[in-house]
Structure 1
Amino acid sequence: MAVDPHKQTSVHCLYYWAEKAPDKVYLTQPYPDGRVEDITWKEAADQVSRMAGYLRGLNLPPNSNIAILGKNSAHWILADLAIWAAGYVSVPLYPTLNGDTAAYVLEHSEAKLMFLGKLDGTADGWNDIKAHIPRDLPLVSFPMSPRDDTPKWLSIVAEQAPVEPRLPEPDELATMVYTSGSTGRPKGVMHSFRTMISVADGLQQLFPVSADERMLSYLPLAHVAERAAVETQSLYHGFHLYFANSLDTFQEDLQRAKPTLFFSVPRLWMKFYLGVNAKLPPKKQKLLFSLPIVSSLVKKKVLRQLGLEHCRAALTGAAPLSAEIVAWYRNLGLELLEVYGMSENFGYSHANRPGQAKVGTVGMANPGVQHRIGEGGEVQVKSPGQMLGYYKNEEKTRQDVTADGFLKTGDMGEIDGDGCLRITGRVKDLFKTAKGKYVVPVPIENRFNHPMAEVVCVAGANQPQPCLMVLLSEEVRDQLEAGADRSAIEQELAAELDAVNAANEAHEKLAFLVIVREPWTMENGMLTPTMKIKRNVIEGYYTRKMDDWFGQKRKVIWEF
């Protein structure tokens, strides 16, 4: 792998594009009042140089850790760059954290200052977090910050003289990404500038990326997936990056961006799919898609309504997406490619290639990546994006990295004859039934693909058989609120349960399914910030009800 010598780090990239394409728009930021701001490469570099000067003027200790808390925005990325240009290390915090976890990250990272960004307390954790911010922690507020009693980004860059940026060495510590914490306390994953930039160079070898691309940034920048696929790629390749204003304006934001590259997670791909099905039922789709001329027109219209008609490659990752749903998008004409990676290798591990995707797998190892199956069927990976280790936790680093440098992923998998990796579950997700038989939940969950089900979770540790918990789609929940007939829903889900059980081994057959009452969200702790289910939290929440559910001896159980 050969990173462009002019773009050795993300900081180098910023100033490279500021010189090469100063007047080209880099960042487009919408605001709640309807205003839209464009920031050129030259303006971005100028703001970063001024904020770097402000940070240096605070005389913080060398290599200080500086936190960033907020939803995605143009200023989030500018702050990341300013921290680096000043010679410091960035520590992103998920905006959906609870107060206790936010306090832990700030204390564990020994953050010396925090940038406070776009938060409103409605779809984030601000109402809880604000009481846990140390009173002596210096703050700087972005536009759309919930605090107006701190130094403000716009005022600082208006008054502060720009300084010559410090261009870091590639192997210096750049950032600490705290894992989303699906179990236990989050760990601080340390990445250098080299491990971060490796993803941009490596993915360029899989499919050509140019400065003419457009992407929409809306998944948490605190997670490596968005940081790698969107922030780092845009800086390295010099393309236009758009931001989403809110969930309510998402379609409008998507239409503004008209992305040529798009990255999302399975939960959202599923929501898009269910939204299309609500307007164009699967039976009607099947009929229209079978008509030669009509088929092409309908598929283009669906992609246009999704805002993805210009998208030449779309990625899905962070959790499994069923092969059936991937195939549905690909049938529409969207080059949907499943990719695989972890916080510990900056998301740079495996990917399906354009034109040669193997649905049902996460593709082949990326350029420069080695993979193997270790003890107990665990996937082990050695990547150019591999972390420096866990912050203040050498013991955990030794546990998770083998003596010859392979990361133990915690995922179970199989490598086929073409070198494609299929993820079959999580090592820790395995559970035993009361009969002493092991159940692997993920493959079973992936086979349950009914349009009414938004997300599912297989449970049943120490019970006679496993069972399935189902969260209905938002559209179906609304229909029930309006008085829709439950019996039709029950019949369809029971039929899907039978179809799944027909493919299951005897000890894997699902005893029943439960339609749960409460939505699983990041706010109530049942989803990670990348919308993966927190299996241990969900199982713990429903454990007390299991005996009663098994005692009912019904195929479909309503929790409400």
Structure 2
Amino acid sequence: MSTTTDTSFLDTMPANVAVQFFDRVAASPAREAFRFPRGEAWESVTWQQAGDLVEALAAGLIKLGIESEQRVGIASGTRYEWVLADLAVMAAAGATTTVYPTTNAEDTVYILADSESRVVFAEDDDQVKKLTDHKGELPHVSKVVTFEGKTDGDWIISLDDLAALGRELLAEQPDIVRETSQSIRPEQLATLIYTSGTTGRPKGVRLRHSSWVFEGESIKSQGILSPDDLEFRWLPMAHSFGKVLMSTQMAVGFAAAIDGRVEKIVDNLGVVKPTFMGAAPRIFEKAHGKIVTMQAAEGGAKEKIFNSAFAVGLEVERLKREGKSIPIGLKLKHAVFDKLVFSKIRDRFGGRVRFFISGAAALNRDIGEWFNAAGIKILEGYGMTENSAGAAVNHPDDNRIGTVGKAFPGAEIKIGEGDEVLIRGPHVMDGYHNLPEETAKALDADGWLHTGDKGSLDEDGFLTITGRIKELFKTSGGKYIAPPAIEAKFKAVCPYASQFMVFGNERNYCVALVTLDPDAMATWAEENGMSGASYTEVVNSDQVQKMVGDYVDELNSHLNRWETIKKWKLLDHDLTVESGELTPSMKVKRNVVEENNKAIIESLYA
């Protein structure tokens, strides 16, 4: 079991998220709180300005009749207004129901109806249409507040309209929001997050105010962030990882630059120049692939220098890890390569990054070590929606690549039956909304959350995750296979890879479905005489089929005999959130992919 000694923060935590927010406003009124794009420029607001607007919006919700623990939906991408809406809901004592903007109309309506949401914040006309088309199925929804969609002055109003309603109420009752927020008990419902489950209907995870406050205060207690840090936040705020960063920001007091457009991440990093960012491994895989393929395309002396730099960088990091001294000659070489190669890679990310935090899926060890060699730390963490996102994380000064770090101070992790990872602490959910049987399966009588993940703890309390228990399979020869480990290895070997999915349950060998990154392949096509060809034409070309085959052979050389991929198929499309094959946090919905490609998988065993 793993715990950290200093848990004194547990005795002084704010009572709820609303108090945590208003405490931060009072402590740092003139400091920058948020930065967000307006057209081509970035606009900035202080904690006081954000606090005044949240107070007005919360008063508006109270005027609309929102009462304690009543749900308010937010159907929007990550943007400044999402944060305002979420804080306003909690300051009005309501509970936020999160909906991804990519969720189809049917599931959006199911989530809002199941949660009995009374008001819904809808980003734009596309999100509003999902509601107006199904108004009859949403009997509880009395008002829709749109960030930038068309209003009708009745059922659909704007954010400005809601703030105006709030200011009217505040003119009559100036203390209404502060009094309401003070009255919220720690155990009250703060958020309902519907997991984008890979099977069946989404399940609503009930998370308390005290869970979010604990997450932020526990991270603050570890001393890895300060008020002078600047976060770049693109992660879906509808996902628990995005929400935990918000709680941490209020606890610590740093500023956050917010823009959820995934295609703008690299451009934004160059402009914003953050000191840290949270991301899913796919972002790091994509960046790694792009940099490696660009160098390979340049060839000649530049490619040789690049490869030599990483050989030296990886050797220096290995010696540091083993506590050995670095020979003077190696130090001098490293300094030269840092100037020639590594500093340029760091500049691509804005040049000020102290570390990235990786979560939501497993990061391949080789990719973690590659970034580390370039002077960019990736701290891998672990958790799930059911425990408010954060359960364990590595530290900048104690980063064991390949592990997900130690348990958060004030929480516990242990390994249960069948090597299942169990979590206990203030961050664990109350249960699943309206699903007592599912809750009983996930939470035992002693308060341990059964994660469904297989893992191990070392003697220092560092947790290593092997994979989802239900994703592990046994070949007909009786050998157990952990697909995520093999899949992550392929992405480290092949810089063009987007997804690599391994199958073989009860079969006598493993097979794989492969997709390539469309951006990387467009560049490859230009360099290989196929400029203007479609993605399908490119991936079906003999040249690409041979290239992928060579990478699969390279992967197999690093695997046990029973894990090797005997046959594979390159799909003619990449997986997307829109197709329903990826979750919004970029995890593969394995069973959906398997069902969609059943005939192809069967043909690999024919």
Q: Deviations over 1:312-371 (max 9, x none)?
A: 121001100100000011111112110001111112211112222111111222212222
Aligned partners of 1:260 and 1:310 also within 8 Å: yes
| DSSP-derived class of the 2:499 partner | strand
Alpha carbons of 1:328 and 1:71: their partners in 2 closer, same or farther (altered >3 Å)? Answer: same
1:27 aligns with 2:27: no
What residue identity is the alignment partner of 1:529?
P
1:329 aligns with 2:340: no
Q: Deviations over 1:86-117 (max 9, x none)?
A: 12111111111112211111111011110112
Which of 330, 334, 359 is equivalent to 1:317?
Answer: 359
Aligned partners of 1:75 and 1:142 also within 8 Å: no
Which of 571, 580, 586 is equivalent to 1:516?
Answer: 571
What residue identity is the alignment partner of 2:551?
E
Q: 1:436 offset after TM fit, Å?
A: 5.7
Alpha carbons of 1:23 and 1:204: their partners in 2 closer, same or farther (altered >3 Å)? Answer: closer
1:413 aligns with 2:455: yes
Q: 1:130 offset after TM fit, Å?
A: 6.2
Structure 2 unaligned regions, length at least 5? 1-6, 297-302, 313-332
The residue number in structure 1 matching 2:548 is 493
Give me the whole-angstrom Cα distance separating, in 1, the residues matched to 2:349 and 2:242: 20
What residue identity is the alignment partner of 2:499?
V
1:402 aligns with 2:444: yes
The residue number in structure 2 matching 1:143 is 147
Give me the whole-angstrom Cα distance separating, in 1, the residues matched to 2:149 and 2:43: 16
1:385 aligns with 2:427: yes
What residue identity is the alignment partner of 2:344?
K
The residue number in structure 1 matching 2:504 is 460
Structure 1 unaligned regions, length at least 5? 552-560
The residue number in structure 2 matching 1:14 is 21
Aligned partners of 1:189 and 1:343 also within 8 Å: yes
Give me the whole-angstrom Cα distance separating, in 2, the residues matched to 1:145 and 1:439: 49
TM-score by length of 2: 0.84
Q: How does 1:398-547 map onto structure 2 within 5 Å?
A: 398-435=440-477, 437-448=479-490, 449=492, 450-478=494-522, 479-480=524-525, 482=531, 486-547=541-602
| DSSP-derived class of the 1:96 partner | coil
The residue number in structure 2 matching 1:45 is 51
Give me the whole-angstrom Cα distance separating, in 2, the residues matched to 1:383 and 1:130: 41
Alpha carbons of 1:233 and 1:146: their partners in 2 closer, same or farther (altered >3 Å)? Answer: farther
Q: 1:548 offset after TM fit, Å?
A: 2.3
The residue number in structure 1 matching 2:4 is none
Q: How does 1:29-428 map onto structure 2 within 5 Å?
A: 29-31=36-38, 33-117=39-123, 119=124, 131-132=133-134, 134=137, 137-145=141-149, 150-158=156-164, 160-161=166-167, 162=170, 163-164=174-175, 165=177, 166-167=180-181, 168-228=184-244, 230-244=245-259, 246-281=261-296, 284-289=305-310, 290=312, 291-297=333-339, 298-307=341-350, 309-428=351-470
Give me the whole-angstrom Cα distance separating, in 2, the residues matched to 1:374 and 1:79: 39
Greater displacement, 232-241 / 206-215: 206-215
Give me the whole-angstrom Cα distance separating, in 2, the residues matched to 1:36 and 1:356: 35
Aligned partners of 2:273 and 2:353 also within 8 Å: yes
Give me the whole-angstrom Cα distance separating, in 2, the residues matched to 1:130 and 1:266: 37
TM-score by length of 1: 0.90
| DSSP-derived class of the 2:69 partner | coil
| DSSP-derived class of the 2:157 partner | coil
The residue number in structure 2 matching 1:554 is none
Give me the whole-angstrom Cα distance separating, in 2, the residues matched to 1:474 and 1:120: 29
What residue identity is the alignment partner of 2:517?
S
Aligned partners of 2:474 and 2:481 also within 8 Å: yes
Give me the whole-angstrom Cα distance separating, in 1, the residues matched to 2:562 and 2:289: 31
Q: 1:147 offset after TM fit, Å?
A: 5.6
Aligned partners of 1:97 and 1:129 also within 8 Å: no
Q: 1:437 offset after TM fit, Å?
A: 4.8
Q: 1:529 offset after TM fit, Å?
A: 1.1
Aligned partners of 2:67 and 2:93 also within 8 Å: no
Alpha carbons of 1:159 and 1:66: their partners in 2 closer, same or farther (altered >3 Å)? Answer: closer
Q: Deviations over 1:242-280 (max 9, x none)?
A: 112634433332233221121110111111111212322
| DSSP-derived class of the 2:605 partner | helix
Q: Deviations over 1:467-519 (max 9, x none)?
A: 11111122343234626694454444333323333443443321122111111
Number of residues of Structure 1 aligned to a counterpart in Structure 2 = 544
Aligned partners of 1:63 and 1:88 also within 8 Å: yes
Q: Larger relative contact order (C-alpha < 8 A, sep ≥ 6)? A: 2
Alpha carbons of 1:384 and 1:159: their partners in 2 closer, same or farther (altered >3 Å)? Answer: closer
How much identity, in percent, do the aligned residues show? 29
What residue identity is the alignment partner of 2:498?
E
| DSSP-derived class of the 2:381 partner | strand
Give me the whole-angstrom Cα distance separating, in 2, the residues matched to 1:489 and 1:92: 41
The residue number in structure 1 matching 2:316 is none
Greater displacement, 195-204 / 366-375: 366-375
Q: Deviations over 1:187-222 (max 9, x none)?
A: 111111111111112112333322222112211101
Greater displacement, 209-218 / 157-166: 157-166
| DSSP-derived class of the 1:249 partner | helix
Aligned partners of 1:272 and 1:306 also within 8 Å: no
